Amino acid sequence: MTVNQRIKQLRETMRLSQVKFAKPVAISSGHIASIELGNRNVPDRIIKIISFVYGASEEWIKSGEGEMFTTRPSGEKHNVILKAFDELTPENQDSAIQQVKALLALQKQESREECGEKKRSIA
């Protein structure tokens, strides 16, 4: 299976039309159609965005190895977030992506600090 076919499989698994899948990725539905038909190569930038937006594994998209999702979409929450994201202007979508990345970094930092406190209390 090719990268292009895996992107189509991901979209179909999420039960999204090409239009709804393409919008948060900031490309046209025609671009997604061309990718799915194998008429376009998929640059790493697009793979990274798809992975970030849909919680898909970059490794799975690129090679087919591992699980499709790094984390499973959580049904209604996932749909609410996507719908809200779709309603944002492109500038606000960029801002939202940056905010989510900042939250993830903060979460990782807090997790590391928690692990450090647990290790100190055990010692």
Q: What pTM value is reported for the model?
A: 0.58
Q: What is the pLDDT of residue 84?
A: 85
Q: Count the helix, strand and coil residues of the chain and give each as a percent rounded to the nearest 5.
A: 70, 0, 25
Three-state DSSP at 112 gives helix
User: pLDDT tens across 44-73, in order?
Assistant: 999 999 998 988 999 999 999 999 988 655
43, 67 in Cβ contact below 8 A?
A: no
Nearest to 31 by CA among 18, 47, 45: 18
